[in-house]
Amino acid sequence: MSEQPKVSREMVDDILSAYPEKARKMRAKHIVVKDEGCTTCAIKSNSKTIPGVMTARGCAYAGSKGVVFGPVKDMIHISHGPVGCGYYSWSTRRNLAAGERGVDNFVPFQFTSDFTENDIVYGGDKKLETLIREIKELFPKVKGISIQSECPVGLIGDDIESVARKMSKELDMPIVPVRCEGFRGISQSLGHHIANDAIRDHMIGKKERADVGPYDVALIGDYNIGGDAWATKTILEEMGLTVTNIWTGDGTAEMLQTAHQTKLNLIHCYRSMNYICKHLEEEYGTPWMEFNFFGPTKIEESVLQIAERFDEKIMKKAKAVIAKYKPQMEKVIEQYRPRLEGKKVMLYVGGLRPRHIIGAYEDLGMEVIGTGYEFAHKDDYDRTIPEMGNATVIYDDVTAYEFEEFVKRLKPDLIGSGIKEKYVFEKMAVPFRQMHSWDYSGPYHGYDGFPIFARDMDMAINSPTWALSQAPWKKSAKEV
Ligand code: ICE
């Protein structure tokens, strides 16, 4: 086995020296090496990608339609503009939803206003009105509609707000205009913020639930990827809490409208939904807290922290939940740890997972030697640095070139990143898991998720395929 190469600033600088001077200087600020002295290392984030490099980022429309609104299952989300944005974002995120298709679950469908040149020249407002009426006619049980603007809608200055107002009155249901044109912002992150604001202005407080209880909690920033929110809900309910609202995985319009009635907001994905938690606190006094349900260590910590917000009864149940699952989790660790112990991981995902999944790897004896985000802000990096060990590298909006170079030099045993990275690294014979969609697997959250996570990581790393990856012409004559 080759010796583990060391992470160093010299290595980073050497990689960056391939760039023109201006680009080199800019990129240098986005990468830090965490060492002994660096506890709050400065890393530049949430700024424009340098033109010409290959970035993995998405756009504001992706952040609003794909991430925040898309999983609200009984609303219909119109991809308003040319057909491409809707078509290519159709069913790619694996946010699961229960319910009857076309009746109270529209997640599997894709709706678009299919702009053509005519609409760009003459405006698309009339078409939008017609489309909204048709939706109500075809799907009478729909609970609301959101209009997700694509770039051309903003560029030609269509007044989607007035269409929404008019049609909302005519059809007597919420119709939410969302100004999430892709060109806004520098990544999908602004799309999250715009979507949070649209929910604040058009949904929250518009309905009252009759059956409010002292243990009502909202699960915020869990999009039910591969069933994550269901796994999370199981734990919270076994603790004695009532999950009344989920944002937005397997969520409903009513869950957004009654958000002001919960007692505590539990936020998993801070990046995409901190805005709404802060608003609910300021406007309605609802407290909120972050938690992490990846891997038994983090789950245990979070379960106790959540229970502390309630009474003795909940605390007792929380401890019982931990005790119930402990032997099961120990069994999983016993099975997989010997196969995974000491393996090095490099991560690169969106805005939460690069820090939230570290604990789950550590439960299996693995070590995260590099991590980074596509679109995190300073507050995310502040939360990340304490999670990382010394001699690790943290990279913001890493370019395809830089990531490849890091991998060539640091030789991780596993990479967890997205679809754009997957085949590049698999062709380099590095084990890989797609950590946005859980590579068509999941859930990974909660006690239900950990055994699946452990199995999947083992399957990727210890697959016999990697031993067969040497090209025949590189083998000695005897081996062939
Ligand atoms: Fe939050 Mo891909 Fe989800 Fe996070 Fe967010 Fe995105 Fe999903 Fe990734 C998401 S909401 S779609 S946990 S935009 S996997 S920040 S990039 S790490």
Average pLDDT of each block of 10 consecutive residues along the chain (480 residues)? Answer: 76 97 97 80 93 96 98 98 96 95 97 97 97 98 98 96 98 98 96 98 97 97 98 98 98 98 98 98 98 98 98 98 98 98 98 98 98 97 93 96 98 97 94 97 98 98 88 68
pLDDT for the residue 1: 45
pLDDT of residue 478: 62
DSSP letters for 103-169: TTB-TT--EE----HHHHHH-SHHHHHHHHHHHHHH-TT---EEEEE-HHHHHHT--HHHHHHHHHH
CATH fold match for the domains 9-55+326-468 and 216-320: yes
CATH of the domain spanning 216-320: 3.40.50.1980
Spatial distance between the Cα atoms of 201 and 217, rounded to a whole number of angstroms: 21
150 burial class (0-12, 13-18, 19+ CB within 10 angstroms)?
buried
Cβ of 107 closer than 6 Å to ligand 1, yes or no, is: no
Mean pLDDT of the chain: 96
C-alpha to C-alpha distance for 99 and 358, rounded to whole angstroms: 33
- Note if 77 is an active site residue: no
Which pLDDT does position 475 carry in this prediction?
Answer: 73
317 lines ligand 1 (CB under 6 A): no
Question: What residue's CA is closest to ligand 1, atom 16?
Answer: 350
Per-residue tokens: 41: 């290392």
Residue 191 CB–ligand 1 contact under 6 Å = no
Residue 436 Cα to ligand 1 midpoint, Å, equals: 7
> Which atom belonging to ligand 1 lies closest to the Cα atom of 374?
16
Query: For the segment 234-244, what is each residue's pLDDT rounded down to a tens digit?
Result: 999 999 999 99
> 319 CA to middle of ligand 1, Å?
30
The answer to whether the CB of 353 is under 6 A from ligand 1 is yes
Domain limits of the chain? 9-55+326-468, 60-202, 216-320
Q: Is 192 a catalytic residue?
A: yes
Query: Is residue 70 within 8 Å of residue 95, measured between CB atoms?
Result: yes
C-beta 436 within 6 A of ligand 1? yes
Three-class SS state of 39: coil
Question: Known catalytic residue: 323?
Answer: no
CATH of 60-202, one of 3.40.50.2300, 1.20.1090.10, 3.30.230.10, 3.40.50.1980: 3.40.50.1980
CA trace torsion 308, 312, 313, 316 (10° rounding): 80
Nearest Cα to 173, choosing from 204, 210, 203, 138? 203
The pTM assigned to this predicted structure is 0.96
Could you give the ipTM of this predicted complex?
0.96
**CATH superfamily, region 9-55+326-468:** Nitrogenase molybdenum iron protein domain (3.40.50.1980)
Asked if 202 is an active-site residue, the reply is no
| Half-sphere CA count of 283, side-chain side, radius 13 A | 14
Cβ of residue 45 lying under 6 Å from some atom of ligand 1: no
